[in-house]
Chain A
Amino acid sequence: MRRTAPGEDKAGWQLSRRYNWLLIAPAFFLLVFFLWPLMRVVVRSFVDPAPGLANYQAILASPVYLRVLYNTVETAAVVTLLCLLIGYPIAYVMARAQGVKLRIVAALVVIPLWTSVVIRSYAWMVVFQRRGVLNEGIGTVMALFGESHTPIQFLPGALAVHVGMVHIMLPFMILPLVASMRNIDRRLMRAAGVLGADPIQSFLRVFLPLSLPGVSAGSALVFMMSLGFYVTPALLGGPRHMMSAVLIEQQANQLLNWGLASALATLLLLVTLAIYAVHARISGVGLAGAGGRA
């Protein structure tokens, strides 16, 4: 089911054992600057201010924290689904494109990544506000038909939050999808056609299943990153869109209650790990990372 012969594929991606030592430096870096601080956060959630489960009890006993955790997961799930629905066709086109066309589409997908998330969130505020571009545009069109337009209140609202977050996360969905789709042997689709499948059937029964590892990688990436979102929902969303990151920031930076902040962060980490486990099961990747196999 691969474009390359099995032997070739292996040769391309398996590092000879002789070069394993190359991994020592990055492993050391991760250990010191990532795993060790992360461990300290987890440990702190159990020992600060006093050893025990008090921080977790406080979270589980409070409707606020549970509600916000639920909001966080819900928002991340909706954003992931929207990114998938919008990103899949774009990735499909990119995977088939060659030359200039490919470069143009790739540039359009990647260039937004160069602007800061904060600035893009403020930009969406300008678009969605009462006298914003969107409302003014609708007003102009309505005026052509002789109708008056009462500005629609987009802010704060679910629509604005979802549009803002999808705009930021879309490249992280599209790129793994493209990687996975480019590895699909197009001759399989033709073979399906020869054997009597119509285009819809060959897409649903051949292409779509083969692209699932990309779907899984992109979805996991978008979902996990969305869980940690802070500024976009804070600026565009109402109280209903309060995300865990806001609570963690309040506790960590303003109230300096690091035990509780650590416990909240640990719970978010657990959700992330659970999502990764699901992704690993679907696509069969181990610790090697997402998108490597298709």
Chain B
Amino acid sequence: MSGSTVPNPSKMSRRSLLAAGAAASATIVAPTILRAQAKPSQLVVATGGGKLDDAYKASVFKAFTEKTGIAIVTTANPAAKLKSMVEAKAVEWDLMQGPAEDFIVHGRNGLFEAIDYGVVNKAPLIPGAAYEHFLLTDIAAYHIAWNTKNLKGPAPKSWADVWAYQGRIGLWKRPFQTLEVALLADGVPIDKLYPLDVERGLKSLDKVKAKLAWWERGAQGGQVFIDGEVDVGAIWNGRVHEPKLNGAPVDFHFNQAVLVNDAWGIPKGAKNLKWSMELMALNMTAPVQAAYSRLIPYGPTNKEALALLDAKTIANLPSVEADFSKGRLLDLAFWADNSSKTVDRFNKWLLG
């Protein structure tokens, strides 16, 4: 390739790259090699979309583009696509966001690159946020909620109160988190939840089976509380926080909440590994995490971020206690070891 006809790849737009490629078709492989070494013009991040995507764009992606000049584009994040891309050795994503309980399994299956803790500073992170193949980036909650119009009597303080309520109870139709809640309702102390006693959890669910109204998807879950299709139950705080502010008849608290996390990982074979790791590192810094928590009611996993937030924002976050005295984090290792057989067992119970 002659240097005079081809501009600097880092400043090339896709179109000029194509044009240059067409002009110098004999040496078409050259730009690919250059691109692997040089700064890319954009990174592709696979996310869950929706409000989460908006929050990332206005916090970490914005900061990254300002710092590096690299644009971020987002796309949907089905795990099946991650697996097929890694298997085919044709990875289009530079980074992926998803549920932490899935990420620990993907990591064990060799679908993620190892995190470089020389680049990512794990010192200010909460205990248990830094894994070999991924990082916990925020804290959300699966918590007690109720419809204020339907509620008769006092608001439920604990899962045992939810179980005792005479009315319809809404829960997620999956074993994850729902079994934790069932065990808490049955009186298992929150610090002795794991390893989960699956059979005891199902027996606890048996006691309320006639009152249960399952929800399958997050959007649906939020709606059944807002519409009063269920009276009390469990939902993620991201689904009811804003409706409550806007006057919907829902209320909730974080007592005995099961804390869940979004995680970020880098697909095995990602093409711009160095820059993916930089983006990962930036996302774990206190100012970026604080900016994110101001946009969406999920708590930071960087302890120093709390100092940057005002009291009003902090009041809306699931858990800010250093020891998680109100709730507790999902045990990822337990679910990584047991998800397959527990899903089977739970499905069998559902159908029985």
Contact = CB atoms under 8 A, between A and B. Distances in A.
B304 interface: no
Q: How large is the interface on B (under 10, 10 to 19, 20 to 34, 35 or more residues)?
A: 20 to 34
A131 B106 CA distance: 42
Contacts of A67: 351
Most chain B CB neighbours (cut-off 10 Å) among A63, A242, A253 = A253
B213 interface: yes
B223 A125 contact: yes
B79 A256 contact: yes
Given A129-B229, A131-B228, A239-B350, A256 B83 contact: yes
A254 B78 CA distance: 9
Interface in B316-352: 339-340, 343-344, 347-348, 350-351
Interface string B67-80: 00000000000111
Given A239-B214, A254-B79, A63 B229 contact: no
A103 interface: no
Interface string B292-313: 0000000000000000000000
A132 B105 CA distance: 41
Contacts of B214: 156, 238-239
A252 B343 CA distance: 13
Nearest to B224: A129
A253 to B, nearest CB: 5
B340 A255 contact: yes
A231 to B, nearest CB: 8
Contacts of B227: 126, 129-132
Most chain B CB neighbours (cut-off 10 Å) among A64, A68, A71, A125 = A64
A255 B339 contact: yes
A285 interface: no
A83 to B, nearest CB: 24
A242 B102 contact: no
3 closest residue pairs by CB, A with B: A239-B350, A129-B229, A234-B216
Given A131-B228, A235-B217, A235-B220, 13 more contacts: A64-B347, A71-B351, A122-B220, A125-B229, A129-B224, A129-B227, A155-B213, A239-B350, A250-B343, A250-B347, A254-B79, A254-B102, A255-B105
18 contacts: A64-B344, A68-B351, A71-B351, A130-B228, A131-B229, A235-B217, A235-B220, A238-B214, A239-B173, A239-B214, A240-B351, A247-B347, A253-B79, A254-B79, A254-B343, A255-B105, A255-B339, A256-B83
Interface of B: 78-80, 83, 102, 105-106, 109, 168, 173, 213-214, 216-217, 220, 223-224, 227-229, 339-340, 343-344, 347-348, 350-351
